[in-house]
A and B are shown apart, each in its own frame.
Chain A
């Protein structure tokens, strides 16, 4: 699976959009981009995933560049409860033997 690079930490004001970047310049054509988050002391929580098209669900939007070498997770109206570590992972869908978590980005939403 390709590796990802994320900033170690970011701040965001409550009510504003949080834009979390992820670089995955070595991504292969059959690899999906997955985002998870981990709120303090809890297990990671799935947020969203995509292959090449932009995706949106009730939690977030995922914007993938046309060359697929980077992506951005957008939390449109961040709340204090969105404070967490966010993980960007690329892997082949159907490769069920592993989901490798890096260090992620620690997002702090401030009042």
Chain B
């Protein structure tokens, strides 16, 4: 999607290893989000950021940490990956202005933990 990229697009990792997913935006939006999507659960918010070094937890934050040292980058880290973290991860951005406040999503990262 224009203005937002996720990397890597696909990753296979072993249980117990650390994994970092990157979300990069060129829109200078204030808000950034990490969601995971699993069959039967829809999209669930993991963490979000409302500015550089300002982050907060979502509904499924256990086992995940995030960092935002620059406006354009939002990193999601699995400190010790587990099979339950096999999922598709989506990043989203939002400028937070006005009534629109709609989100723009990235193309997703498919993570498999074996």
Contact = CB atoms under 8 A, between A and B. Distances in A.
Given A51-B99, A96-B101, A43 B108 contact: yes
Interface in B7-53: 30-31, 33, 35, 42-45, 48, 50
Interface in A66-111: 93-104
Given A94-B101, A96-B50, 7 more contacts: A44-B90, A46-B103, A94-B99, A98-B48, A99-B103, A101-B35, A104-B42
A105 B43 CA distance: 14
B74 interface: no
B43 A44 contact: yes
A44 B1 CA distance: 10
Contacts of B33: 99
Interface residues of A, number: 23
Contacts, number: 59
Nearest to A93: B99
Interface string A30-66: 0010101000011111100101000000000000000
B102 A46 contact: yes
